[in-house]
Structure 1
Amino acid sequence: MNATARWTPDRVEDLRIETRRFIRDRVMPHEPAPGTHVDDELRVRLQSDARAAGVFAPQVPTEFGGLGLPIEHWSPVFQEAGYSPLGALALNCMAPDEGNMHMLGEVATAAQREEYLRPLAAGQTRSCFGMSEPHPGAGSDPSALRTVAARDGDGWVISGVKRFSSGAVGAALAIVMARTLGDDGDGGDGATMFLVPMNTPGVRVGAPLRTMDRAIVGGHPHVHFDDVRVPETAVLGEVGLGFRYAQVRLGPARLTHCMRWLGLARRAHSTALDRAAARELFGSRVNELGIAQGMLADSVIDIETSDAIISRTAALLANDPRAGAALSSVAKVHCSEAIVRVVDRSMQLLGGEGVSEHLPLASFFNEVRPFRIYDGSNETQRWAIARRAVKSRSRERAAGEPALDALREWGVGDA
Structure 2
Amino acid sequence: MDFAFDARTEELRARLLAFMDEYVYPAEQVAHEQRARLSSPWENPPVVEELKAEARRQGLWNLFLPDAEYGAGLTNLQYAPLAEITGRSPQLAPTATNCAAPDTGNMEVLAQFGDERQKKQWLEPLLAGEIRSAFAMTEPDVASSDATNITTHIRREGDEYVITGRKWYISGAMHPDCNIFIVMGKTDPDGPDIRRQQSMVLVPRDTPGVTVKRAMRVFGYEDHYHGGHAEVVFDEARVPVSNLIGEEGGGFAIAQARLGPGRIHHCMRLIGMAERAIELMCRRAVSREAFGKALAQQGVVQNWIADARVAVEQLRLLVLKTAWMMDTVGNRGAHTEIQAIKIATPRTVVGILDRAIQLHGAGGVSQDFPLAELYAGARTLMLADGPDEVHQRSLARREIKKYL
Calculate the TM-score normalised by the size of structure 1: 0.86
Alignment partner of 1:355 out of 365, 378, 391: 365
Alignment partner of 1:316 out of 309, 313, 325: 325
Alignment partner of 1:21 out of 9, 18, 23: 18
Q: What's the CA shift for 1:283?
A: 4.1
Alignment partner of 1:91 out of 78, 94, 97: 97
Gaps of 5+ in 2: none
Is 2:250 the partner of 1:245? no
Q: What's the CA shift for 1:268?
A: 1.1
Is 2:162 the partner of 1:157? yes
Aligned partner of 1:40 in structure 2 is 44
Between Structure 1 and Structure 2, whose CA radius of gyration is higher?
1
- Quick one: percent identity of the two aligned structures? 35
Q: 1:163 aligns to what SS in structure 2?
A: strand
Aligned partner of 2:305 in structure 1 is 296
1:111-136 Cα deviation digits (max 9, x unpaired):
32222211111101111001001113
Please show how residues 236-385 of structure 1 align to structure 2 within 5 Å: 236-319=245-328, 320-385=330-395
Aligned partner of 2:107 in structure 1 is 101
Q: What's the CA shift for 1:38?
A: 6.2
1:155 alignment partner AA: E
Q: What's the CA shift for 1:217?
A: 2.8
Q: 2:247 aligns to what SS in structure 1?
A: coil
Is 2:240 the partner of 1:231? yes
Q: Alignment RMSD, CA only?
A: 2.2
Aligned partner of 1:117 in structure 2 is 123
Alignment partner of 1:141 out of 143, 146, 157: 146
Q: Distance in 2 between matches of 1:241 and 1:293?
A: 52
* Higher mean displacement: 108-117 or 73-82: 108-117
- CA contact 1:58–1:91 (8 Å) conserved in 2: yes
Q: What's the CA shift for 1:41?
A: 4.3
Q: Distance in 2 between matches of 1:373 and 1:358?
A: 27
1:73-123 Cα deviation digits (max 9, x unpaired):
111001111111211111111110111112222222233222221111110
Q: Distance in 1 between matches of 2:376 and 2:331?
A: 31
| Equivalent pairs, count | 384
1:180 alignment partner AA: T
Q: What's the CA shift for 1:236?
A: 0.9
Q: Distance in 2 between matches of 1:340 and 1:334?
A: 10
Aligned partner of 2:55 in structure 1 is 50
* Higher mean displacement: 296-305 or 215-224: 215-224
Aligned partner of 1:181 in structure 2 is 188
Q: What's the CA shift for 1:46?
A: 2.2
Distance 1:73 1:392, change over 3 A: farther
Q: What's the CA shift for 1:186?
A: 4.7
Please show how residues 391-406 of structure 1 align to structure 2 within 5 Å: 391-394=401-404
1:54 alignment partner AA: G
Q: Distance in 1 between matches of 2:250 and 2:376?
A: 35
Q: Distance in 2 between matches of 1:45 and 1:38?
A: 17
1:212-240 Cα deviation digits (max 9, x unpaired):
34254321111111112222221111211
Q: What's the CA shift for 1:338?
A: 0.9
Q: Distance in 2 between matches of 1:264 and 1:369?
A: 12
Q: Distance in 2 between matches of 1:358 and 1:226?
A: 42
Q: Distance in 2 between matches of 1:283 and 1:332?
A: 42
* Higher mean displacement: 34-43 or 82-91: 34-43
* Higher mean displacement: 366-375 or 356-365: 356-365
Q: 2:131 aligns to what SS in structure 1?
A: coil
1:288 alignment partner AA: Q
1:263 alignment partner AA: G
2:382 alignment partner AA: R
- CA contact 1:150–1:158 (8 Å) conserved in 2: yes
Gaps of 5+ in 1: 1-6, 395-415
Is 2:208 the partner of 1:211? no
2:63 alignment partner AA: P
Q: What's the CA shift for 1:249?
A: 0.6
